[in-house]
Structure 1
Amino acid sequence: MTWLRCVEPRPWAATRLFCLPHAGGSAVFYRPWAKEISPAVELHAVQYPGRADRLAEPLVADADRLVRLIAGALAPLMDRPAALFGHSMGAVLAYEVARLLRERGAAPVHVFASGARPPHDRGADRVSDRDDDGVVAEMIELGGTDADALRNPELRELVLPYVRNDFALIEDYAHRPAPGFDVPITAIIGDADPHVDRARAARWAELTTGPFALKELPGDHFYLVERQAEVLAEVQRALDVPATP
């Protein structure tokens, strides 16, 4: 099964945007973006194994391995300028994928880190070690459509294994310094996010020698659902592409 979902191919687009979901998320989270983003951008969403249409595939429990697999999937599509957008867990993965692509001579033009503490300031709380009710409680606190699914007993049995896997993956992740990383980073957060505040988000600037920007929008951890238009406007501005007509 392929790693990328592109619901609206745009062979004419000058830029590609690769979107990485949060813990417990899937490529469908970014589906509404495809028609709303600038026609100059072709959007691809990463589909992690073990969920949605890849439910039968084994989960990947190691962040380094997942990064290598994603980078390998993106490599053939780096023939055009490309940016990475990741939300929460996806932001850390996007940064690591960008590092690896840069090392391989195919650096992206921008990394967008949404709703995430920076890789070198992750915190010690381990949601993955909680019982099922504890994991569900964390998801409900963060909000989003995944929390709604976990309230349904039948869906909960299906969803909880990959949610727990993703929490463990990001909690076991260890940042290794990467001197010389110069890809521009934009951090975007919700002003009422219980997971990351402005001060912590600002530390993403420490990870690049390139330009850095911090954008704060109204909302909680999943601010980007309600503020989709503003997020896409920020992406388009940073990539210097024309806005949606």
Structure 2
Amino acid sequence: MTAATRDPASNGQPDDRDRREERAFRPVGRVTGDRPQMFCLPYAGGSANGYDSWLPLLSRALDVWAAELPGRGTRFHLPAARDVGELTGQLVDEIEPLLTDQVVLFGHSMGAVLALELALRLQARGAPLSCLVVSGQPAPAWPRENRLHLLDDAQLTVAMKAMGGTPPEVFDSAELLELMLPILRADLRMVENHRFTPGAVVRCPLVAYGSVDDPDATEPAIAGWADVTEGTFESRMFPGDHFYFQQHPQAVAVDLTRRLLRHLSTPDGAISGGSQ
């Protein structure tokens, strides 16, 4: 992918399409601006379309936005982020103009780390936050032994296969692997080197999801997220591996819809889209 093109008539300034491609958040489905907002952060190596199997079910009743991080998708020409704090500082600046009075943050795996840090930044700025939803990531206080970013390419490829979630054709293409591995490694390095602020908590409700066949985000590791909120805490373990939401998109959408009903209201008084 090449850098964004420029319209000769624009005196070297980016056109509207360029500006859209530079933005970190893209809408999923219809965005009205008068509904609760849900901002979704990707897993390591993932892009803004990583949750496309189930997010459209929620976009019937929520304004859903998916983050496209530097170094992939429409932002491929930008250098990959190296620090969680620096990245979430950029993301919070992009989110603020989009905020309504009801905001949900969601993140899976690395995205859960980003979602927590983003929630803390929004909270410090006095921004509204209705619920934080984390998935597939051990609680901040849980011991971490994996240092996947230190693996060589062959070992990292084996680890990718074991985690699931990557289309088989990626492993059959040396060219695709050559594109994917540096992005994945950069994300893993960033999140594995991140240090959480001891004692930092959010004040909003927190929902934590895991899956029974995920060897790292075990049920006790997911339950540990209860210590990260002063609000209500709920958790659920789904069947499946680390990418359980790809295997059970409808079940995830229905369950999250039901839980968000307790914390959000829509113009008609209910969120109904995810359960249809």
TM-score (norm 2): 0.84
Q: Which runs of 5+ in 2 are unaligned?
A: 1-21, 262-269
Q: Distance in 2 between matches of 1:195 and 1:179?
A: 22
The one of 91, 102, 106 aligned to 2:123:
102
Q: Which residue of 2 aligns with 1:58?
A: 79
Look up the SS of the partner of 1:189 in the other structure: strand
Indicate whether 1:228 and 2:249 are aligned: yes
The residue type paired with residue 226 of structure 1 is Q
Percent identity of paired positions between Structure 1 and Structure 2: 33
The residue type paired with residue 158 of structure 1 is L
Look up the SS of the partner of 1:242 in the other structure: coil
TM-score (norm 1): 0.94
Q: Distance in 2 between matches of 1:161 and 1:192?
A: 27
Q: Which residue of 1 aligns with 2:209?
A: 188
Look up the SS of the partner of 1:29 in the other structure: coil
The answer to whether the 8 Å contact 2:84/2:194 transfers is yes
Task: Please list, as runs of the form range in 1=range in 2, the aligned pairs for 1:158-177 lying within 5 A after superposition.
Answer: 158-177=179-198
The answer to whether the 8 Å contact 1:19/1:84 transfers is yes
Q: Distance in 2 between matches of 1:235 and 1:80?
A: 19
Deviations 1:32-90 (A, max 9, x none): 33431252211100001101221111111111111111111111111231101100000
The answer to whether the 8 Å contact 2:54/2:245 transfers is no
Q: Distance in 1 between matches of 2:58 and 2:135?
A: 17
Q: Which residue of 2 aligns with 1:32?
A: 53
Relative to structure 1, is the Cα distance of residues 174 and 121 closer, same or farther in structure 2, using a 3 angstrom cutoff? same
Q: Distance in 2 between matches of 1:78 and 1:122?
A: 34
Relative to structure 1, is the Cα distance of residues 71 and 151 closer, same or farther in structure 2, using a 3 angstrom cutoff? farther
Q: Which residue of 2 aligns with 1:9?
A: 30
Look up the SS of the partner of 1:75 in the other structure: helix
The residue type paired with residue 205 of structure 1 is A
How big is the shift at 1:122?
4.8
The answer to whether the 8 Å contact 1:4/1:45 transfers is yes
Q: Distance in 2 between matches of 1:171 and 1:123?
A: 8
How big is the shift at 1:148?
4.9
Task: Please list, as runs of the form range in 1=range in 2, the aligned pairs for 1:1-245 lying within 5 A after superposition.
Answer: 1-11=22-32, 14-37=35-58, 39-145=60-166, 148-179=169-200, 181-240=202-261, 241-244=270-273, 245=276
Relative to structure 1, is the Cα distance of residues 29 and 13 closer, same or farther in structure 2, using a 3 angstrom cutoff? farther
How big is the shift at 1:134?
1.3
Look up the SS of the partner of 2:49 in the other structure: helix
Look up the SS of the partner of 2:50 in the other structure: helix
Deviations 1:165-223 (A, max 9, x none): 00100110001024553111111111111221101110000111110001111111000
Relative to structure 1, is the Cα distance of residues 67 and 91 closer, same or farther in structure 2, using a 3 angstrom cutoff? same
| Residue correspondences, number | 245
Q: Distance in 1 between matches of 2:92 and 2:79?
A: 18
Q: Distance in 1 between matches of 2:37 and 2:214?
A: 28
Say which one has the larger Rg.
2
Q: Distance in 1 between matches of 2:199 and 2:41?
A: 21
Q: Distance in 2 between matches of 1:236 and 1:217?
A: 15
Relative to structure 1, is the Cα distance of residues 148 and 20 closer, same or farther in structure 2, using a 3 angstrom cutoff? farther
Q: Distance in 1 between matches of 2:232 and 2:168?
A: 35
